[in-house]
Amino acid sequence: MKRVQAKASILTALVTLLLSLSALTWSQTGTSAVRGTVTDPQSRLVAGAEVTLTNLANGAARTMKTNDSGGYNFDLITPGEYRLDIVAKGFKKQTVDNVRALIGKASEATVQLEVGAASEVKSKYIFGVDI
């Protein structure tokens, strides 16, 4: 009887250890998100702007249009360094560098566009965790 209880205790401890290690490993390989809002010089929301998020490590890019509230949301992205490019009719192209996507934490980027031709480019460099 004591032998069976000892084996059960050892088995329980091993299962607990394995589950703890797998949870630790899983937490190291999470995803991130980059989201924000696009506005004009008067801080009005810009719907239909094209927002491209580019992973600087591998060049992979995702593009979407802002919703009616001027918002965009790139979910389930690999943590790392990114660049945002925003293009909208009647505005200069806006580039935001050094967007950092952290594991399990969304980065926020509100971008204010300037009136002008899309061929004109305005760059913004961000050196922080969140923008």
* CA count, 13 A, side-chain hemisphere, 80: 15
User: In degrees to the nearest 10, what's the CA dihedral of 41, 44, 45, 51?
Assistant: 0
Residue for token digits 């009616």?
68
Q: Report the half-sphere exposure of 27 (CA within 13 A, side-chain side).
A: 6
Q: How far apart are CA 89 and CA 18, in angstroms?
A: 55
Q: What pLDDT is stored for residue 40 in this prediction?
A: 96
Report the range of poorest mean pLDDT among 8-12, 54-58, 81-85: 8-12
pLDDT at position 117, please?
Answer: 77
Q: What is the pLDDT of residue 127?
A: 43
**pLDDT band for position 129 (cuts 50, 70, 90):** very low
Whether pTM > 0.75 for this model: the answer is no
Query: Per-domain residue ranges for the chain?
Result: 1-30, 32-125
Dihedral sign, Cα of residue 15, residue 20, residue 21, residue 26: positive
Q: How many CB atoms lie within 10 A of CB 108?
A: 12
Q: Is the pLDDT of residue 79 over 70?
A: yes
3-state helix, strand, coil in the chain (%, to 5): 20, 45, 35
Mean pLDDT, residues 97-126: 81
32-125: CATH number: 2.60.40.1120
| Percent of the chain surpassing pLDDT 90 | 63
Would you place residue 19 in the very low, low, confident or very high pLDDT band (cuts 50, 70, 90)? Answer: low
Average pLDDT in the 41-70 region?
97
